[in-house]
Amino acid sequence: MERIGLAVIGAGYWGPNLVRNAQATPGLRLEYLCDLDVSRARQVLGDYSTVRASASLDEVLADDAVGAVAIATPAGTHLKVALAALEAGKHVLVEKPLAANLAEGRRLVEAAESRGLVLMLDHTYCYTPAVRRLRELVRGGELGDIQYLDSVRINLGLVQPDVDVLWDLAPHDLSVFGAILPDGVEPLEVAAHGSDPIGAGRACVAHLTIRLTGGAMAHVHVNWLSPTKIRTMVIGGSSRTVVWDDLNPSQRLSIYDRGVDRRADLGAGEREQAIISYRVGDMVAPALTEREALRSVMAEFAGSIAEGRRPLTDGRSGLRVLALLEAASESLATGGTFVPVKTEVAA
């Protein structure tokens, strides 16, 4: 496969990770690291002597050797930077969230689709071995009909200056929901509750409830203030339940053949009698091959460009996350009422 010239935009927290994994991806050839602080870019590059550091986005986008860009800049800049790259004919990988709001996200998706360019989200968790196996289990029917999803993502984290805890942490869980749920199971409405016990001016603790088609319900708990770090997701099905513990490298997934069954006995002229039985079966912990998720992100980006196909986390997956976040913000502002999720982004 001919290697695709790549420029990484942004040398801050996430940019160095993109640089490292781009250099290790056979389908990519890193050409530039672009940052307003060019000395920081040079420091990040270190021994990568063949990669150029630049402070000029215009210079990078004007170079025909660059066929794609990976953007690791603040969310408020995503529209400007990604739109400039798309208008220059470059494929785009962008850090979550896709944009600062749904309207801006739509502009980026429309710009990419009208030009036949790849627009991909760096929803890194969707490329972990654990979530890939979750996708197989859920979409393959091994869990049966999905009844509920419960996700907890809490730690003593950095209180962000420009977004609340929902916009900071929940995109991880919402993107995973989007990647694993079967076709036809979509979010219908969202309710959000949050609190700001430290007076930060934005919610630091929040709970999100999502009603799905078919009657299933998903919950997300995010928290910047917890002294303990927990990253777990429980997916309950009519046949089996799976627990994902992202902080347990020796047993990230546990599949339980345990649950509650309901049998209805109907007699002539009699009321329905519901009999509840508890199913207690085995627990299986599948072996997973550990691989850095960002390496898989880069491989998917290169592969989708070379093969002319949509990546797993394409621009519309980013729109679906933004639609959920905007509905959650509206619910938070109105006291936790359920707010319908805009569905026109799903096409």
Q: What does the angle CA 38 – CA 44 – CA 48 come to, to the nearest 5 degrees?
A: 105
Residue 277 sits at φ, ψ, to 5 deg, of: -125, 150
Positive/negative CA dihedral, 162, 194, 188, 181: positive
pLDDT at position 49 is 78
Whether residues 119 and 196 share a domain: the answer is no
Query: Are 171 and 269 found together in one domain?
Result: yes
Alpha carbons 150 and 220: distance in angstroms, whole number: 6
Q: Return the structure tokens found at 36.
A: 């307003």
Per-residue buried b or exposed e for 112-133, using 16+ beta carbons within 10 Å of the residue's own CB: beeeebbbbbbbbbbbbbbbbb
Domain that holds residue 301: 4-123+293-313
What confidence tens digit (pLDDT) does each residue in 139-186 have? 999 999 999 999 999 999 888 888 899 999 999 999 999 999 998 899
Q: Are residues 272 and 300 in the same domain?
A: no
Domain membership of residue 30 (yes or no) is yes
Non-local (6+) Cβ contacts of 262 within 8 A are: 274, 275, 276, 277
Is 70 among the domain residues?
Answer: yes
Asked if residue 232 and residue 341 are part of one domain, the reply reads yes
Query: Do the beta carbons of residue 154 and residue 223 sit within 8 Å?
Result: yes
Residues 18 and 72 sit within 8 Å (Cβ to Cβ): yes
Number of domains, the chain: 2
Residues 254 and 115 in one domain: no
The sheet with strand 28-34 has its strands ordered as 52-54, 28-34, 4-9, 68-71, 91-95, 119-122
Q: Indicate whether 19 and 100 sit together in one domain.
A: yes
- As a whole number of Å, the end-to-end CA separation of the chain is 30
What is residue 347's predicted lDDT score, i.e. its pLDDT?
A: 52
> Is 318 a member of any domain?
no
Angstrom distances, CA of residue 276 to CA of 238, 257, 259, 263, 265: 14, 16, 10, 7, 11
Are 137 and 46 found together in one domain? no
- For residues 151 and 73, membership in a common domain is answered with no
Beta carbons within 8 Å of 109's beta carbon, 6+ residues apart: 98, 119, 315, 316, 318, 319
pLDDT in tens, 208-227: 999 999 899 999 999 999 99
Look at residue 35 and tell me if it is in a domain.
Answer: yes
Bridge partners, residue 260, by sequence: 278
Give dist(CA 339, CA 66) in Å, integer. 42
Pair 187, 130 in one domain: yes
**185 vs 211: CA distance, rounded Å:** 10
3-class secondary structure, 253 = strand
Q: Which CATH number do you get for residue 19?
A: 3.40.50.720
In a domain, 279, yes or no: yes
Look at residue 344 in the predicted model and tell me its pLDDT. Answer: 67
Residue 183 lies in a domain: yes
**Number of continuous H segments (helices) and E segments (strands) in the chain:** 9, 15
Q: Is residue 90 part of a domain?
A: yes
Query: How far apart, in whole angstroms, are the C-alpha atoms of residue 130 and residue 338?
Result: 31
What is d(CA 159, CA 242) in angstroms, rounded to the nearest whole number?
Answer: 31
Same domain, 257 and 304: no
Instruction: Print pLDDT tens along the chain (347 aa).
Output: 689 999 999 999 899 999 999 999 999 999 999 999 999 999 999 877 789 999 999 999 999 999 999 999 988 899 999 999 999 999 999 999 999 999 999 999 999 999 999 999 999 999 999 999 999 999 999 999 999 999 999 999 888 888 899 999 999 999 999 999 998 899 999 999 999 999 999 999 999 999 999 899 999 999 999 999 999 999 999 999 999 999 999 999 999 997 777 766 545 544 555 677 667 778 899 989 888 999 999 999 999 999 999 999 999 999 999 999 999 999 999 999 999 998 766 55
| Whether 42 and 69 share a structural domain | yes
Q: What CATH number is attached to the domain comprising 335? A: 3.30.360.10
Q: Are residues 169 and 307 in the same domain?
A: no
Residues in contact with 342: Cβ distance below 8 Å, sequence separation at least 6, in sequence order: 102, 323, 326, 327
| Whole-angstrom distance, CA of residue 35 vs CA of residue 262 | 59
Q: Decide if 132 is inside a domain.
A: yes
